[in-house]
Structure 1
Amino acid sequence: MDNFEDAFRALIGNEGGYCFNPADPGGETMWGVTARVARSQGYTGAMKDLPLETAKEIAKQKYWDPLHLDELEPRVAFQIFDANYNGGLVVLWMQKASGAKEDGKFGPDTLNAVKSTDAMKFVMRFAAYRLRYLRNLHTWPHFSRGWTERMAENLLLGAA
């Protein structure tokens, strides 16, 4: 995995296509993009018809670029990207996994701390914080199997 294109392909392997699960607080999604996010980005069509290319543009603008993931080691960038796309306390997990000041605010100090942390150690720590978060969500009973599989797949990618 070398760049956004590779990361997006792997991400879509986790996300799949259209879903409208009543247990999901995100509501209706296509390619993992919620209707709320799609609308906020200007998409007006039916969610079932959201083009993959539109999801890709949203992913780059909203979940990749703001965290400067092009500047990070690709395995690290993917873990952060997948978590940011899926939801959670991503900046805080970045800070905890890298030893940066834990304030939940992304900036140059956080970015530099992540850059200076051994990639494998970062991936393992980040995954641990993410799993703990997921396990404590009230929706865990509904989505635990899928989230566990997603995390296992991500760890395999991180070890490649």
Structure 2
Amino acid sequence: MDIDELIDAVIGREGGFSDHPADRGGATRWGITEAVARAHGYHGEMRVFPRDEAVAIYRRIYWVRPGFDRIADAAPDVAAELFDTGVNMGPAVAVSFLQRALNALNRGAADYPDIVPGPRIDDATQAALTAFLARRKPHGESVLMKALEALQGERYLDLAERRPANEAFLYGWLANRLG
């Protein structure tokens, strides 16, 4: 999938306007919270937040800024998963999942050096991913996907355990965000 298809899929999942009382994000439209919309210059009512503004925010903040576009050619499934995770948990969380997984899969730094965690796909993260995929082909990307989804699933469970109001969302997160 290209970024336009990924954005369409997220918007399709997130739907139109929502203001669930248990959702700390508050009012959202197209999956964009009011706080994010305001931070990017939108001043109107969230019920009418334009889809094209949501698309622009998804592309800029959840695809380009964290650097998922940098790895899309080499690992399209990983880039798509990171984009989706970043939309739901924040791009820095998604990047940290990739960096943690790559560090844990490098066989004690025998395959490539450990990555210093950071909020974006930097040159070191991109080099580690390239080395991992080269070393572990043809199944490396699918194994890396399992690691990313395991980290994501664990975080969803932790969120529900730490804040019982999040239990309202746990089933949907697991059903729609994993696998």
Normalization by structure 2: what TM-score?
0.78
1:82 pairs, out of 84, 97, 114, with 84
Q: CA deviation at 1:112?
A: 2.4
1:122 pairs, out of 144, 149, 162, with 144
Q: How many residues align?
A: 152
Determine helix, strand or coil for the equivalent of 1:22.
coil
CA distance in 1, matches of 2:174, 2:9: 16
Larger radius of gyration: 2
Q: CA deviation at 1:66?
A: 1.4
In the TM superposition, 1:147-158 aligns within 5 A as: 147-152=173-178, 155=179
CA distance in 2, matches of 1:29, 1:60: 17
CA distance in 2, matches of 1:121, 1:14: 25
CA distance in 1, matches of 2:32, 2:50: 11
In the TM superposition, 1:66-77 aligns within 5 A as: 66-72=65-71, 73-77=75-79
RMSD (Å) for aligned C-alpha atoms: 1.6
1:112 pairs, out of 117, 127, 132, with 127
Measured against aligned partners, the alpha-carbon deviations of 1:24-65 in whole angstroms (never above 9, x if no partner) come to: 011110011000000000011111111111100000111100
Identity of aligned residues (%): 31
Q: CA deviation at 1:68?
A: 2.1
Equivalent in the alignment of 2:97: 93
CA distance in 2, matches of 1:8, 1:83: 12
1:116/1:8 CA distance change after superposition, 3 Å: farther
C-alpha contact 1:96 1:102 (8 A) present in aligned 2: no
Unaligned runs of 5+ in 2: 104-113, 133-139
Measured against aligned partners, the alpha-carbon deviations of 1:78-136 in whole angstroms (never above 9, x if no partner) come to: 10001111115222101122224353443211222234432111211101101101110
Shifted more, 96-105 versus 29-38: the winner is 96-105
Q: CA deviation at 1:13?
A: 2.6
Equivalent in the alignment of 1:158: none
Determine helix, strand or coil for the equivalent of 2:42.
coil
